[in-house]
Structure 1
Amino acid sequence: MGDRRLAIEAWESLFRAQHEVFGKLSGDFVGSDLSQAEYDVLLTVTRAPDMTARLRDVTANMLISQPSVSRLVDRMVGRGLVTKCSDPDDGRGALVTATEEGAHAFRVIGAAHGRSIAEHMACFDDEELRTLLTLTEKLRGYRSGE
C-alpha cells in the first residue's frame, strides 16, 4: 500500500470536488419538468433496450434506497413519465418503461444538463478527461483484470 496520508488527502479532495460540482449541477433542475432523481431514473430507463429497465437496475444506479426508488417510480407512473409492470422473467421484480412524455422530458433537460456538465468539465483537456475516466473507473472497480 502507498502513502496512507496521501490516499486520505486524495479521497477527501475527490469527495469535495464531487460534492461541489454536484451542487452546482443540481441547479439545472430548478424550474424544470423533472427532479434530479426523476432524471436519474429516466437516464437508466431510456438507455436500456426498448426504454425498459428492471427496477433493480434502476435502483443500482441511484444513490437512494430501494424503497425510496420504488416510491419515486410510483410517483413517476402517476405523472405519466413511466409505466411499471411485473417482470415476466422474475416474479418478484418489475419492469419500468419510459413513456413518450417521460422520454421527451428527459431529452429536453438532458440537452441542457449535458451542456452544463461539459461547461464544468471544460477545465480539463481531452487527455485529462480520459485520465480522469480511467482513474474513476479503476476506483469503482469496473476495469477488467484489476
Structure 2
Amino acid sequence: MSTTRWLNPDEEKAWRAFLRVMVAVQTGTARDLAALGLSDADYEVLSTLSEQPGHTSTLGAQADKMGWSRSRLSRHATRMEARGLLRREPDPADGRGCLLVLTAEGLATLDNAAPAHVESVRHHFIDRLTPEDLRAVERIARHLEVN
C-alpha cells in the first residue's frame, strides 16, 4: 500500500508556478549582475559581509547565513580572494577556522553594483507586484522558512 501523497491538480499547478517564478526572477537578476562582472553568490557574500561589524565574519557563520556548506564557501572565497574582493585572516577564537574580511575593493565593487542590483530586483520582482501581493509573498515566505 502506497503512502505517497501525490499532488492534486491545484497543488501541482501551484508548485510548478512557484518553480517558474523562482527561475525567472533568479535568471533575470543573475544576468543583470553578470553584466557587472558578479555572480549571485559574489553579491551575496559581499552584501552579507558588508553588514557585519568590521565587514568581517567567520567562514562558518557566513556559510550558515548563506545556507552553504563551509567547503563550498571556502572554494568560492578563494576565487573572490584572487579577485581582491575579500581576504582571509586567521580566526583568533578558532585556530582551525578563518575570518572572511571584505576588502576596500570588495566594498567599492558592492557600492558600484548595489544600485543596479536593486533596480534589477525591482524590474524582475517588486514592480510587477501590488503591495498586497508583496504582503502575501512575505506571509507565504514565513510559512516556508527553515528554522
**TM-score under structure 1 length normalisation:** 0.82
Following the alignment from structure 2 to structure 1, what is the Cα–Cα distance between the partners of residues 62 and 37? 20
Aligned residues: 140
Structure 1 residue aligned with 2:79, among 75, 78, 99?
A: 75
1:55 paired with 2:59, answer: yes
Residue segments in structure 2 that go unaligned for 5+ positions in a row: 1-5
Match of 1:119 in 2: 123
Following the alignment from structure 1 to structure 2, what is the Cα–Cα distance between the partners of residues 111 and 48? 20
Matched residue SS, 1:91: strand
Report Cα offsets for 1:26-68 as digits up to 9, x if no partner: 1112332423321121122111122111212322344654323
Report Cα offsets for 1:90-111 as digits up to 9, x if no partner: 2332211111110110121121
Structure 2 residue aligned with 1:93, among 82, 97, 117?
A: 97
Q: Which of 1 and 2 has greater Rg?
A: 2
Where does 1:102-113 land on structure 2 (aligned, <5 Å)?
Answer: 102-113=106-117
Match of 2:3 in 1: none
Following the alignment from structure 1 to structure 2, what is the Cα–Cα distance between the partners of residues 8 and 141? 22
> Which 10-residue stretch deviates more, 106-115 or 127-136?
127-136
Following the alignment from structure 1 to structure 2, what is the Cα–Cα distance between the partners of residues 54 and 138? 29
Matched residue SS, 1:53: strand
1:134 paired with 2:100, answer: no
Percent pairwise identity: 30
Structure 2 residue aligned with 1:66, among 66, 70, 73?
A: 70
CA RMSD of aligned residues (A): 2.2
> Which 10-residue stretch deviates more, 20-29 or 60-69?
60-69
Residues 10/57 of structure 1: CA separation in 2 closer, same or farther (3 Å cut): farther
Match of 1:35 in 2: 39
